[in-house]
Amino acid sequence: MPEMDFDELVMRIIKASGLNRDDVLARINAKVTELSGLVSKRGAAHIIANSFGIQLHESKKGKVLELKDLVDGLNNVGVKGVVTKVFPVHEFEKNGRKGRVANILINDGSAEAKVVFWNDMVEVVSSSKVNSGDFIKVHHVRCKKGNFGMELHLSARSRIELNPDEERPEVKSFNNAGPSPERFLVCDLQDGLNVELRGAVVQLYDRAPFYDSCPECGKSVKDGSCSEHGEVKPVKAFIVNAVIDDGTGTIRCVFFKQQAEALLGVSTDHAVKLGEEKGEDKAIIHESKGLLGEEFIISGKVNHNDFSDSLELMVNSVVKANPLVEVKKLLK
């Protein structure tokens, strides 16, 4: 819905309040002065309207909205979409209390958004009630702008419908890096390509899988300082280096944060805590040797590493290879 212009706002206030135009304009100007010019006349008009209980916009509460129409701060709205990705459950501790969080991505053809499950609601994900490919409808969620797009946070009031009896949305790609990556063989990779690979993990680099990052923006922190937020108390971020072999060659792949969690199947907090218990940061790497030989579908961007003079893949998606899906692709 397009925003009303200033004159239309004034007319709505006049009609609902019974004041004349001069009185309304005087109140708006007084509010601008009261707030030391921190709000525009439009903003002041909204404040005046609220003081009279005038609703200038149609309420979106309880409505099922398209993902493209979500904005930060919306509360108690409904959404629907097809689950395109399920992330591992993440355990954390805050103020001495333990909690759990799980994320899934949904796509309704208009956009893609992350749905965030907290604590008791995590059971829906951890018990595999929700899986990739499911069609879900979620009611009473709160919209919040995250680092990588819109997030939909569930609460105790939230309600989930799994595979409701209605038309499923058509999933569309919203990969900001460009079109969906093509499947490549390692032997055909070139610098700069966005690709998808299917291959087996043949090596995990035996190095500490953490680096210091800014709690605000997630950027790397050096000597306690973030290039964007200055001096900060850094948090541990996950990074795993692995070698993938698809039978035509091998390539070093770098998994950051959520992708590292997805590869190893553990949360960052678990990996950090294990390192503290074992007295060695690399403990989670040593305990993940069972991954060797496991096949994954990995997508990301190919870069040339000048230091090693070789190609590497910066991973942005990783899932275990599904034999049935791969067989169907081969048959096609």
Cβ-contact 130, 137 below 8 angstroms: no
- Looking at residue 48, its pLDDT comes to 83
Query: Both tokens of residue 53?
Result: 């209980």
- Looking at residue 49, its pLDDT comes to 80
pTM higher than 0.85: no
pLDDT tens, residue by residue, 80-135: 999 988 888 877 777 778 888 888 989 998 888 899 998 888 888 888 788 888 89
Using 70 as the pLDDT threshold, list the residues of the chain that sit under it.
1-5, 35-39, 54-62, 147-148, 173-180, 332
- What dihedral do alpha carbons 66, 70, 74, 80 form, nearest 10°? 30
Distant-in-sequence, close-in-space partners of 248: CB < 8 Å, separation ≥ 6: 185, 186, 187, 188
- Ordered domains of the chain (ranges, CATH): 6-51 (no CATH), 67-162 (2.40.50.140), 182-331 (2.40.50.140)
- Looking at residue 5, its pLDDT comes to 65
- Looking at residue 62, its pLDDT comes to 54
Q: Is 281 exposed, middle or buried (0-12, 13-18, 19+ CB in 10 A)?
A: middle
- Looking at residue 287, its pLDDT comes to 92
- Looking at residue 75, its pLDDT comes to 81
Of all residues in the chain, what percent are helix, strand and coil, respectively (each to 5)? 25, 35, 40
Cα dihedral 247, 250, 251, 252 sign: positive
Residue 282 region by backbone torsions, left for phi larger than 0, else alpha for psi between -120 and 50, else beta: alpha
